[in-house]
Amino acid sequence: MDRFFDDRGNRSTLRREEDNNLKLSAMVDSGYRHSKRVRDMLDSLGLKPSDIVSTGDLEKLPVISRGEVVELEQREPPFGGFCGENTDIDRIFISPGPVYEPHLGENELWGRGYFAAGFRKGERVLNTFSYHMVAAGLTFHEGLRAAGATVIPSGTSGTETQVQLIRDLGITGYTGTPSFLNAIINKAEEMGYDFKKDFGLRRACFVAEPLQPSLRIKFEDEYGIDTYQMYGATEVGDIAYECSEKAGWHICEDVIVEIVDPSTGKCVESGQLGEVVVTRLNDIFFLLRFGTGDLSSIVESDCACGRTSRRLSGISGRVGDAVKVRGMFVTPGQIARVREAFPRVRLQVVVTRESYRDFLTVEIVDDEHYKAIDVGRFRDVFNEICAVKIDRIETRLVGTGRDKPEYEEGKPIIDKREWK
Ligand SMILES: [Zn+2]
């Protein structure tokens, strides 16, 4: 057993929550003394640090979006008052904006995710994230080292160079975006290699870009690469990671994740979809309730891998793209999953108000693909994925002109509700 699995990483849910509460309390206390932002916020709300002592108390505070962090930092450079005055920061990262982020000081961030992806001592891993200005390269480098792997800091070098490194250094693992790995494989094939036969790259851990299910199948089936995903943000570090079960993302240690209704900032019921709001428990950057803008839900069941941390269901869209129907969010990501289950069926969701109630219509182009499906099963699958029942299915005939007007491939959901 490894420290990333057993030590602290496998406390009981209750014990973890107690630990998090203590750390949250300490963070708010320290933040009130050292961070102008925390002090101003609590004072303006008429709260004392002793009012925030458990994760449930966080609801008393507003959610802060990335846009707001940028704005505050520009108003009060460099850290918008989120950082203490005399804090010892080992490096400052720069993102476009510009946004400035202090390194959170914990070199083991991301180590847990890489460990779960199977990276160990003896693995040689290509780290294709940029080491220049931004946090990614160095941060993931340290995470890989924490898991024990040897890192090749190939950064943003061209695909031909990456192929050369894979060949010459006997690379066994990759970290970067899925699209860049795909580009590297294409380049290798263009150079005359048989990627699976000629190279030993068998493991990849992706972050910073969603992994399309079809691309995952391609990597795993065609190229024999075991794939994993991690999730996080520069402002708060690592948030969650996949284990070998690949059935949800385990929430990292020392982060509090809330799933909230973006319109109220209040937590939704467990299992429901909402915005991922993160508080990184630390003593450097006092950012409480960072709103990621990503939508997810908590998976209730225990994971077969044995880890006791709660899991996220994966990211099913961005807050702005989601449409709330009868209290539940329906996202383009969910519609994409419905489409995956019924390939080639062209559909679009239209939400209206009828008799003071949200009304969900699925409009489908009536062609041979639609004729081939079982409509009852379609309704069941839709309900299972979106957690909202279809009120009506409308079909449009092809070639009558009625199939064209509003149907847009890029717009999975149209909200036609008028709130008069
Ligand atoms: Zn697991």
Percentage of residues of the chain with pLDDT beyond 90: 66
Q: Is 229 helix (H, G, I), strand (E, B) or coil?
A: strand
Give the separation between CA 15 and CA 240, rounded to whole angstroms: 19
- Position with higher pLDDT, 406 vs 223: 223
Q: List the chain domain ranges.
A: 323-415
Q: 152-161, 264-273, 327-336 — which is least confidently predicted?
A: 327-336
Q: How far is the CA of 278 from the centre of ligand 1 (A)?
A: 20
23 CB neighbour count, 10 Å cutoff? 16
| Encoded amino acid at 174, one letter | Y
How does pLDDT run across 64-102, given as a tens digit for each residue? 998 899 889 989 999 999 998 778 898 999 877 677 899
Q: How far is the CA of 238 from the centre of ligand 1 (A)?
A: 16
Q: How far is the CA of 244 from the centre of ligand 1 (A)?
A: 7
CB 351 within 8 Å of CB 323: yes
- In sequence order, which ranges of 35-155 are alpha helices (DSSP H)? 36-45, 66-75, 111-116, 136-147
User: What mean pLDDT is predicted for residues 228-243?
Assistant: 94
Residue of 261, 254, 298 whose CA lies nearest to 278? 254
Q: How far is the CA of 300 from the centre of ligand 1 (A)?
A: 12
Mean pLDDT of the chain: 90
- Can you give the pLDDT at residue 398? 66
CB 233 within 8 Å of CB 278: yes
Q: What pTM was computed for the model?
A: 0.84
Whether 7 shows a pLDDT value over 70: the answer reads no
Q: Please state whether beta strands 274-280 and 255-260 pair in parallel, antiparallel, or not at all (unpaired).
A: antiparallel
Q: Is 310 helix (H, G, I), strand (E, B) or coil?
A: coil
First to last CA, the chain: 60
Q: How far is the CA of 245 from the centre of ligand 1 (A)?
A: 6
Whether 397 shows a pLDDT value over 80: the answer reads no
Q: How far is the CA of 89 from the centre of ligand 1 (A)?
A: 33
Q: How far is the CA of 12 from the centre of ligand 1 (A)?
A: 14
Q: How far is the CA of 14 from the centre of ligand 1 (A)?
A: 18
Give the separation between CA 130 and CA 138, rounded to whole angstroms: 8
CB 96 within 8 Å of CB 123: no
Q: How far is the CA of 202 from the centre of ligand 1 (A)?
A: 20
Range with the largest mean pLDDT of 5-9, 10-14, 92-96, 240-244: 240-244
Q: How far is the CA of 250 from the centre of ligand 1 (A)?
A: 6
| Encoded amino acid at 314, one letter | G
CB 363 within 8 Å of CB 350: yes
Q: 21-25, 212-216, 292-296 — which is least confidently predicted?
A: 212-216
Phi, psi of 118, rounded to the nearest 5 degrees: 95, 5
Q: How far is the CA of 201 from the centre of ligand 1 (A)?
A: 23
Structure-token pair, residue 2:
């490894």
Domain 323-415 has CATH 3.30.300.30: yes
Q: How far is the CA of 259 from the centre of ligand 1 (A)?
A: 20
Q: Is 272 helix (H, G, I), strand (E, B) or coil?
A: coil
Q: How far is the CA of 149 from the centre of ligand 1 (A)?
A: 21
How does pLDDT run across 316-350, given as a tens digit for each residue? 888 888 888 887 888 888 888 898 899 888 899 99
Give the separation between CA 227 and CA 119, rounded to whole angstroms: 11
Residue of 153, 158, 154 whose CA lies nearest to 142? 153
- Can you give the pLDDT at residue 170? 97
Range with the largest mean pLDDT of 7-16, 22-31, 327-336, 337-346: 22-31
Q: How far is the CA of 385 from the centre of ligand 1 (A)?
A: 21
Q: 32-46, 255-269, 283-297, 359-373 — which is least confidently predicted?
A: 359-373
∠ Cα 66 249 206 (to 5°)? 75
Q: How far is the CA of 249 from the centre of ligand 1 (A)?
A: 7
Place of tokens 């940028």: 70
Q: How far is the CA of 247 from the centre of ligand 1 (A)?
A: 7
Q: What's 220's DSSP letter?
A: I
Q: How far is the CA of 388 from the centre of ligand 1 (A)?
A: 28
Whether 279 shows a pLDDT value over 90: the answer reads yes
Whether 399 shows a pLDDT value over 60: the answer reads no
